[in-house]
């Protein structure tokens, strides 16, 4: 284990997953609407059970586990990349309690509602 500053046990977990962004996996589109964010993430061939989605402090993190196959396939051509991948997205003002996700045709569609801006103006009376 090479020297890492501020190393903690959680890093060990993340090291199991490759960074999706640098390897061009989990191609994502993010649309920002007035009241919500919509994400469409490509993950062809991935099953629901191998997807982990979590939200913490405005960061949405997706982790996709590789399906280990015992097949002994005779490849004539191999272009598809396999492996476990993880990726995080920063979504300002996103409401972690209001997230829905659906997997269709190899695309994970996620909708996250935005937190309502608090009307913080208060008038203080002077005694």
Partner 1 sequence: MYNLNKVFDEFFNQEVVRSFPLDVVETKEGYKVIAELAGVTKENLNISYENDYLVIEALKKLDDNQYLINERSSGKYKRYLFFKEIDEDGITAKLENGLLIIDLKRKESLKKRIVIA
Interacting residues with partner 1 (CB under 8 A):
27-32, 37, 40, 42-47, 73-81, 103, 105-107
3-state secondary structure of 23: coil
Q: Closest separation between CB of residue 25 and partner 1, Å?
A: 10
For the CA atoms of the chain, what is the radius of gyration? 20
Q: Closest separation between CB of residue 102 and partner 1, Å?
A: 13
94: its two tokens:
């996103």
Q: Closest separation between CB of residue 54 and partner 1, Å?
A: 19
**Nearer Cβ to partner 1 (16/47):** 47
**Nearer Cβ to partner 1 (24/56):** 24
Please count the CA atoms within 13 angstroms of the CA of 23 that sit on its side-chain side.
14
> Rounded to the nearest 5°, which phi and psi values hold at 125?
-85, 145
């Amino acid at each position: 284990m090479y020297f890492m500053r501020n190393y903690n046990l959680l890093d060990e977990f993340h090291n199991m997953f490759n960074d999706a962004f640098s390897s061009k996996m989990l191609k994502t589109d993010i649309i920002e609407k007035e009241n919500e964010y919509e994400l469409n993430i490509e993950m062809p061939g991935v099953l629901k059970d191998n997807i982990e989605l979590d939200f913490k402090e405005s960061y949405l993190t997706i982790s996709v586990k590789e399906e280990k196959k015992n097949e002994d396939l005779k490849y004539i051509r191999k272009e598809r990349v396999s492996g476990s991948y993880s990726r995080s997205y920063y979504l300002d003002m996103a409401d972690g309690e209001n997230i829905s996700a659906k997997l269709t045709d190899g695309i994970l569609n996620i909708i996250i509602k935005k937190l309502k801006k608090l009307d913080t103006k208060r008038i203080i009376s002077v005694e």
